[in-house]
């Protein structure tokens, strides 16, 4: 994907608004997944839709020197999620919404594995997430689930990259304890390359 | 970086959310409307054929099969037309404010996964069938109550059965338990969509909602799955039900009928030979859905002819509260 082109497209959309649809096509699914992780699929769909409406309405504020629209879009999404939590006053109950939909008609074939693990860790994980400070939790979700880099998380939340690193350090330690608690050995999880 | 990833514990716990599906279509429509408003053009929002309706995103798994004996005799697609005409004669139902659509349904789904979750089983993959009974109360504002009874699974291999109970997976599945789940927010898989009663308009909208991508089941299958998803556990106007059948009547589907029901079937290849059937009662309500695997699978072992998904539904009725109908 030509991430470098996001700025150009947004700039062009100031003259030709229809160009902004390309930004939607590039990033909607990732924004939706992030929002669904945070607030569940139903509200997540609404959040993702609203992200692109707000982004379109405020695109003149997009920094033309930014390499990608991702931090900008995820920043809007994070603000909308915060608003949602404020309105519903049920912050960490979103953890429950992340569980597989019990009304689903078909059980995905891989789900035994994930369900077993989820069953093992869910209580501890929920407790750990609840115990986390809100800002730590936001960094965690943007980095671990939305797949943003340190730099992109920093841009999305408008905080220094060092702050992102220190928050992730705390979060990583908590999750490592959970992993140990369920007997997983180091090196068992999937790996991930990342630009720091 | 190639060290272990502590965040994997989170990723594995939360899994992948389902595809955005129709939510994506709606989001794009909203954006297009905003774009149009800014441009000042007076054209309707464009819709892209990109949606993956959650219920049609069902990528049914691997494997197996046998002869499926459809009840009734082979009938032409005119059976669908006749049923559609009958449905158009059905009086529309007015749903009082605050009332619920109530449906009782029975389901059998294929569940499976890595064999290492099953002590003593050396197969890399194993599978079994898990039956449930469900009552659903669905209100227009998105309030949903589900009462689900989970029944003992059916196994294809006694070793898997023994290991299943040894590993306590019956507790994980909630076998023998009744679980009540309440959703306070929207669970409508098609939020905001008003289904046209004109066949051509309905077909055009349905075409927009099915994914147009490689690897998806054939168009006929997707449209049939979409019809089932629209009707499943919902009060749908008779004229819409009729139009849905009229759309199906245009497709290359096998149609069988009895005095009381019409069954539509399609056989296709999606990583395995599959046979998907949907049955409608004489008022065009959805009453059964079945997916059968037509080739045996070695691993996971699944005998030929296994119905890997089977659901039966009572036609939805309107009830005033969550206590109705009385047992």
Q: Count the Cβ atoms, other than its own, within 10 Å of residue B173.
A: 21
Tokens matching residue B146: 């589900």
Query: Under an 8 A CB cutoff, do A20 and B31 touch?
Result: yes
Task: Please check whether residues B40 and B53 belong to one and the same domain.
Answer: no
Residue B139 bridge partners (DSSP): B100
pLDDT digits (tens, 9 = 90+) for B265-314: 999 987 778 899 999 999 999 999 999 988 888 778 889 899 988 999 99
Using CB atoms, which residue from B28, B172, B311 is nearest to A116? B172
Tokens matching residue B142: 């998105």
- Residues B91 and B94: their CA atoms lie apart, in Å, by 9
Q: How far is B225 from chain A (nearest CA, A)?
A: 12
Query: Under an 8 A CB cutoff, do B34 and A57 touch?
Result: yes
Query: Under an 8 A CB cutoff, do A105 and B144 touch?
Result: no
At residue A188, the pLDDT reads 34
Burial class (CB in 10 A: 0-12, 13-18, 19+), B114: middle
Helix A20-39 to helix A5-15 angle, to the nearest 10 degrees?
120
> In degrees, to the nearest 5, what angle opens at C-alpha A48 toward C-alphas B36 and B187?
110
DSSP string, B193-254: ----SSHHHHHHHHHHHS--STTSPPHHHHHHHHHHHHHTTS---HHHHHHHHHHHHTS--E
Q: Is residue B325 part of a domain?
A: no
Touching check for B307 and chain A: CB below 8 Å? Answer: no
Interface of B with A in 189-228 (CB under 8 A): 191
Task: Please check whether residues B35 and B67 belong to one and the same domain.
Answer: no
Q: Is residue B143 part of a domain?
A: yes
Task: Please check whether residues B82 and B44 belong to one and the same domain.
Answer: no
* CA nearest neighbour of B115 among B61, B169, B170: B169
- Residues A83 and A78: their CA atoms lie apart, in Å, by 9
Q: How far is A34 from chain B (nearest CA, A)?
A: 9
- pLDDT per residue, tens digit, chain A (196 aa), is 444 588 889 988 998 999 999 999 999 999 998 998 887 777 888 899 999 999 999 888 887 777 789 999 999 999 888 777 665 533 223 222 222 333 333 233 233 333 333 343 455 666 666 667 778 888 888 988 888 988 889 888 888 888 888 888 888 777 776 666 544 333 333 333 333 3
Using CB atoms, which residue from A104, A115, A179 is nearest to B172? A115
Touching check for B275 and chain A: CB below 8 Å? Answer: no
Block mean pLDDT (10 aa), chain B, length 327: 56 71 86 86 34 24 25 56 92 89 91 77 85 89 82 93 88 84 64 87 88 77 91 92 96 91 91 90 94 84 89 94 79
8 A C-beta contact, residue B155 and residue B164: yes
First to last CA, chain B: 59
At residue B276, the pLDDT reads 93
Query: Under an 8 A CB cutoff, do A32 and B20 touch?
Result: yes
Task: Look at chain A and count its residues.
Answer: 196
Q: How many domains does chain B have?
A: 2
- Residues A193 and B19: their CA atoms lie apart, in Å, by 25
Residues in chain B with CB shorter than 8 Å from the CB of A172 are 6-7
- Residues A87 and B309: their CA atoms lie apart, in Å, by 40
**3-class DSSP state of B133:** strand
**3-class DSSP state of B167:** coil
Interface test with A, best of B2, B3, B13 (most A CBs within 10 A): B13
Task: Please check whether residues B109 and B191 belong to one and the same domain.
Answer: yes
* CA nearest neighbour of B143 among B181, B114, B110, B192: B181
Task: Please check whether residues B25 and B130 belong to one and the same domain.
Answer: no
At residue A171, the pLDDT reads 80
Task: Please check whether residues B10 and B63 belong to one and the same domain.
Answer: no
Q: Is residue B326 part of a domain?
A: no
B36 is in which domain, residue-wise? 1-48
Using CB atoms, which residue from B8, B110, B186 is nearest to A189? B8
Using CB atoms, which residue from B18, B144, B172 is nearest to A41? B18
- Residues B120 and B118: their CA atoms lie apart, in Å, by 6
At residue A193, the pLDDT reads 34
Task: Please check whether residues B169 and B264 belong to one and the same domain.
Answer: yes
Query: Under an 8 A CB cutoff, do A105 and B114 touch?
Result: no
- Residues B262 and B128: their CA atoms lie apart, in Å, by 30
List own/partner pairs for A12-15 with CB under 8 A and 24 or more apart: A13/A56, A13/A59, A14/A59, A14/A60
Q: Which residues contact B323 (CB under 8 A, 6 or more apart)?
A: none
Tokens matching residue B41: 């053009």
Stretch (H or E) spanning B292: strand B286-293
**Which is it for strands B273-281 and B125-139: parallel, antiparallel or unpaired?**
unpaired
Using CB atoms, which residue from B19, B112, B117 is nearest to A116? B117
- Give me the residue label for tokens 């059937």: B277
8 A C-beta contact, residue B161 and residue B124: no
If you measure CA to CA, which chain B residue comes closest to A19?
Answer: B35
8 A C-beta contact, residue B199 and residue B247: yes
**Which is it for strands B178-183 and B154-155: parallel, antiparallel or unpaired?**
unpaired
pTM (predicted TM-score): 0.53
Task: Please check whether residues B153 and B275 belong to one and the same domain.
Answer: yes
- Residues A166 and A143: their CA atoms lie apart, in Å, by 13
At residue B75, the pLDDT reads 45
Q: Is residue B312 part of a domain?
A: yes
Measure the CA dihedral A7/A12/A15/A21, to 10°. Answer: -90
- Helices and strands counted in chain B (H then E): 8, 12
Tokens matching residue B136: 């659903």
Task: Please check whether residues B15 and B97 belong to one and the same domain.
Answer: no
**3-class DSSP state of B137:** strand
Task: Please check whether residues B60 and B39 belong to one and the same domain.
Answer: no
- Residues A192 and A194: their CA atoms lie apart, in Å, by 6
* CA nearest neighbour of B111 among B97, B125, B101: B125
Query: Under an 8 A CB cutoff, do B20 and A45 touch?
Result: yes
Q: What count of CB pairs under 8 Å joins A to B?
A: 194
If you measure CA to CA, which chain A residue comes closest to B169?
Answer: A116
Q: How far is A66 from chain B (nearest CA, A)?
A: 23
**3-class DSSP state of B313:** strand
Query: Under an 8 A CB cutoff, do B7 and A144 touch?
Result: yes
If you measure CA to CA, which chain B residue comes closest to A31?
Answer: B20
Q: Is residue B138 part of a domain?
A: yes
Touching check for B37 and chain A: CB below 8 Å? Answer: no
* CA nearest neighbour of B1 among A132, A184, A192, A94: A192
Using CB atoms, which residue from A109, A115, A140 is nearest to B61? A109
Q: Give the count of alpha carbons within 13 A of B288, CB side only.
A: 18
Ramachandran angles phi, psi of B311, nearest 5° = -135, 140
């Amino acid at each position: 994907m030509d991430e470098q082109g996001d700025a150009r497209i947004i700039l062009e959309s100031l003259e030709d608004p229809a160009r902004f649809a390309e930004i939607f096509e590039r990033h909607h699914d990732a924004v939706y997944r992030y929002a669904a992780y945070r607030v569940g699929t139903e509200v997540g769909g609404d959040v993702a839709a609203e992200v692109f409406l707000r982004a379109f309405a405020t695109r003149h504020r997009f920094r033309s020197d930014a390499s990608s629209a991702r931090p900008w879009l995820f920043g809007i999404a994070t603000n909308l999620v915060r608003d949602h939590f404020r309105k519903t006053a049920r912050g960490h109950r979103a953890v429950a919404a992340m569980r597989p939909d019990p009304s689903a008609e078909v059980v995905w074939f891989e789900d035994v594995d994930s369900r077993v693990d989820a069953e093992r860790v869910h209580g501890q994980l929920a407790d750990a997430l609840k115990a986390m400070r809100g800002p730590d939790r936001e960094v965690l979700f943007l980095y671990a689930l939305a797949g943003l880099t340190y730099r992109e998380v920093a841009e999305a939340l408008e905080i220094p990259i060092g702050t992102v690193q220190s928050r992730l350090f705390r979060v990583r330690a908590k999750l490592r304890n959970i992993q140990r608690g369920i007997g997983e050995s180091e090196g068992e999880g999937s790996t991930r390359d990342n630009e720091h | 970086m190639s060290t272990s990833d502590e965040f994997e514990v989170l990723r594995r716990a939360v899994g992948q959310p389902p595809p955005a599906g129709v939510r994506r279509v709606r989001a794009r429509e909203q954006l297009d409307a905003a774009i149009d408003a800014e441009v000042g053009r007076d054209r309707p929002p464009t819709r892209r054929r990109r949606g993956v309706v959650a219920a049609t995103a069902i990528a049914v798994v691997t494997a197996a099969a046998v002869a499926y004996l459809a009840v009734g005799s082979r009938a032409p697609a005119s059976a669908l037309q006749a049923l559609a005409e009958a449905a158009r004669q059905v009086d529309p139902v007015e749903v009082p404010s605050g009332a619920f659509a109530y449906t009782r349904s029975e389901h059998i789904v294929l569940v499976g996964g890595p064999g290492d979750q099953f002590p003593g089983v050396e197969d890399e993959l194993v599978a079994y069938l898990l039956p449930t009974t469900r009552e659903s109360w669905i209100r227009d504002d998105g309030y949903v109550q589900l009462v689900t009874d989970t029944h003992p699974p059916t196994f294809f291999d006694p070793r898997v059965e023994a290991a299943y109970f040894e590993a306590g997976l019956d507790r994980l599945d909630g076998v023998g338990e009744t679980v009540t789940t309440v959703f306070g927010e929207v669970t409508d898989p098609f939020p905001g969509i008003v289904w046209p009663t004109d066949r051509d308009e309905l077909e055009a909208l349905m075409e927009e909602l099915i994914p147009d991508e490689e690897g998806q089941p054939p168009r006929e299958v997707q449209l049939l799955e979409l019809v089932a998803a629209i009707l499943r556990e919902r009060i749908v106007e008779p004229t819409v039900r009729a139009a849905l059948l009229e759309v199906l009547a245009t497709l290359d589907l096998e149609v069988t009928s009895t005095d009381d029901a019409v069954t539509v079937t399609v056989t296709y290849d999606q990583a395995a030979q599959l046979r998907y059937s949907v049955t409608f009662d004489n008022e065009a309500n959805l009453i059964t859905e079945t997916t059968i695997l037509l080739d045996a699978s070695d691993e996971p072992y699944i005998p030929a002819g296994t119905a890997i998904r089977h659901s039966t539904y009572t036609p939805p009725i309107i009830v005033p509260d969550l206590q109705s109908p009385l047992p």
